[in-house]
């Protein structure tokens, strides 16, 4: 799995991470809405409520951190490009030799 992510661009990696986080949020909401509302769940209502809300919180935190990382990455790329433009290599013109 890690070899699969090594060959991707940063934006593609972040999209994959956001997709995984969205899946975690969806799983947490399913647990919270359907399993915790059953008549007699296996481990009790409280367990499934805690698991569902914690999965939703973890997924939301993952999305927030990935978006922050992406904005910081873009900012670093712009800063690097600006530094490269400032420090261009300029060659001196050759003087006519007699």
Tokens 């400032």 found at: 86
Q: What is the pLDDT of residues 8-55, one digit of tens each?
A: 787 788 888 899 999 999 999 998 888 877 778 788 888 888 999 999
Q: Are 56 and 80 in contact (CB under 8 A)?
A: no
Is 25 domain-assigned? yes
Is 56 domain-assigned? yes
Is 51 domain-assigned? yes
Number of domains in the chain: 1
Which pLDDT score, from 0 to 100, does residue 20 have?
Answer: 93
Neighbours of 2 (CB within 10 A): 5
Is 48 domain-assigned? yes
Which pLDDT score, from 0 to 100, does residue 60 have?
Answer: 95
Is 1 domain-assigned? no
Which pLDDT score, from 0 to 100, does residue 35 have?
Answer: 82
Is 16 domain-assigned? yes
Is 23 domain-assigned? yes
91 against 2, higher pLDDT: 91
Q: Is 11 helix (H, G, I), strand (E, B) or coil?
A: helix
Is 22 domain-assigned? yes
Domain of residue 45 covers 9-86
Range in 61-65, 81-85, 86-90 the model is least confident about: 86-90
**What is the average pLDDT score of the chain?**
82
The whole-model pTM stands at 0.70
């Amino acid at each position: 799995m890690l070899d699969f992510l090594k060959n991707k661009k940063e934006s593609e990696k972040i999209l994959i991470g956001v997709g995984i986080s969205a899946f975690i949020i969806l799983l947490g909401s399913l647990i919270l809405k359907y399993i915790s509302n059953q008549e007699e769940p296996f481990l009790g209502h409280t367990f499934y409520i805690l698991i569902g809300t914690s999965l939703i919180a973890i997924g939301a935190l993952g999305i927030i951190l990935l978006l922050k990382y992406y904005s910081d990455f873009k900012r670093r790329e712009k800063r690097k490009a600006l530094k490269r433009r400032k420090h261009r290599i300029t060659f001196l013109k050759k003087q006519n030799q007699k």
